[in-house]
Amino acid sequence: SGIVTANMHWYIDWLYRDFTQDDNT
């Protein structure tokens, strides 16, 4: 369960980073 949570957190962080990348420009 820990790995799944970590993987989900990484995925969310990646998506959030990609989503905010446009605003970062």
Q: pLDDT tens, 2-25?
A: 778 888 888 898 888 877 766 555
CA distance 5 to 3: 5
Q: Which domain holds residue 7?
A: 1-25
Helices and strands of the chain, counted as H and E runs:
1, 0
Q: Residues 6 or more apart from 4 whose CB is under 8 A from it? A: none
Q: What is the count of structural domains for the chain? A: 1
CA distance 23 to 2: 31
**pLDDT value of residue 25:** 52
- The number of beta carbons lying within 10 Å of the beta carbon of residue 6 is 10
**pLDDT value of residue 22:** 65
Count the residues in the chain. 25
Q: Residue 1: pLDDT band by 50, 70, 90 thresholds?
A: low
**pLDDT value of residue 23:** 58
